[in-house]
Amino acid sequence: MAQRTNQKTNPRLSHLIAMLKDTARENDAKIWRVIAQNLESPSKNYAEVNIGKINRYAQDGEIILVPGKVLGSGVLDQRVSVAALNFSESAISKITGLEGDCLTIEELVAKNPKGSSVRILR
């Protein structure tokens, strides 16, 4: 039996992990190194965060990073920017309904290479 490697088969994910590591090195931003390590793990270990949890832990106007998928269960009553690997349709409608932003992790890294003022939710 051949030994399995930890290589990701999704090209977007492979590129994202390499970009996060490069950005962490260039900007001395440990947050991107931590997110890259999370995304290198098996996909069954990725975070699945509901809107209700974001509402509980985020403050109005804050930037939230989810190294996984954002799901639409719960109520959101504050404007937040959320960056994640994936979003459900209902999560997108709830976030944008309050004039919040749904970003990919790549877009967040481009906007904020230092990773300052970002809260990670798992």
Give the tens place of pLDDT for each residue, 41-71.
999 999 999 999 999 999 999 999 999 999 9
Instruction: Judge whether 6 lies within some domain.
Output: no
Instruction: Judge whether 18 lies within some domain.
Output: no
Instruction: Judge whether 8 lies within some domain.
Output: no
Residue 108, domain CATH: 3.100.10.10
- Residue ranges of the chain with pLDDT lower than 50? none
Range of 47's domain?
43-120
Question: Cα separation of 18 and 44, whole Å?
Answer: 20
How many residues does this entry show for the chain?
122
Question: Cα separation of 86 and 102, whole Å?
Answer: 10
Instruction: Judge whether 38 lies within some domain.
Output: no
* Number of domain units in the chain: 1
Instruction: Judge whether 90 lies within some domain.
Output: yes
Instruction: Judge whether 19 lies within some domain.
Output: no
Q: Please work out, in degrees rounded to the nearest 5, the angle formed at the alpha carbon of residue 98 by the alpha carbons of 96 and 101.
A: 40
Instruction: Judge whether 75 lies within some domain.
Output: yes
Instruction: Judge whether 3 lies within some domain.
Output: no
The pLDDT value given to residue 7: 82
